[in-house]
Amino acid sequence: MKRIGLLLVGHIDAGSLHVGGDYPELYTGILADKGIELVTYWCDEGQMPDSLNEVDGFMCSPSRLSVYDDHAWLRDVETFLRDLVAKEKPYVGICFGHQLMAQALGSTVKKADYGWGIGAKHYEVVAPQKPWMDSTADIVLAASHQDQVQELPRGAQLLARADYCPIGGMTIGETAWTLQVHPEFSPALADSLLATRLALFGEEKAEAARGTLAEGLQQQRIAGWISNFFHQF
């Protein structure tokens, strides 16, 4: 069993909590049977880890915030991520956790000209196959983001990309990787989030995105990547 710290920086919209709970419950749901025990740090309430070594690695949750929002606690998380990379502590960042790591290491994150990326998205894996991957076949997962990483930070390598999102994932050395899309979003949760945010996305775009969810999402595949990655340390 690996104990992994979840840096909680955001929460599921209240209108969709009934589907699977908040991020601690969602990640537990896809990782508990793969030998991962999550320890949640409520970073948005000022609770930060006391040490890099109190758990075996870290994940950073998604968030409805932008990484460049002016919150003092967000700068504390950025500082923690820089220290984590410097000390080569295992890390996986999802969506906001992907963007925040990129910003922490010097990249620009901003709203994309494309607008909102929503629904099931195909990401091409461009990195050579890593020991923790099952293959380099395309990733299919739910997306829900308007911000995008604009360039790779120094020392990072491109992991995955999509036609609408050129930097959809990255690796930093052998001890950190990130992904823009959401392995914790089931089709039911993604559909609920789209249905409750029609005014934000635009009804036509949201309904089209809801239709893409019928093809299925590779939740278990990418949960396997996360588990395999942490278990190699």
User: Which residues, in sequence order, are CB contacts of 23 under 8 Å at separation 6+?
Assistant: 6, 8, 10, 11, 12, 61, 62, 184
Rounded to 5 degrees, what angle do the CA atoms 163, 166, 172 make?
140
Rounded to whole angstroms, the Cα distance separating 191 from 180 reads: 18
So where are the chain's domains?
Answer: 2-231
Torsion sign across C-alpha atoms 120, 60, 189, 71: negative
> What pLDDT is attached to residue 110?
98
Rounded to whole angstroms, the Cα distance separating 221 from 11 reads: 24
Per-residue tokens: 108: 């620009």
Query: What average pLDDT values come out for the chain (233 residues) when binned by 10 residues?
Result: 98 97 98 98 97 98 97 98 98 98 98 96 98 98 98 97 98 98 98 93 94 95 98 97
What's the CATH number of domain 2-231, 2.40.50.140, 3.40.50.880, 3.30.420.40, 3.40.50.150? 3.40.50.880
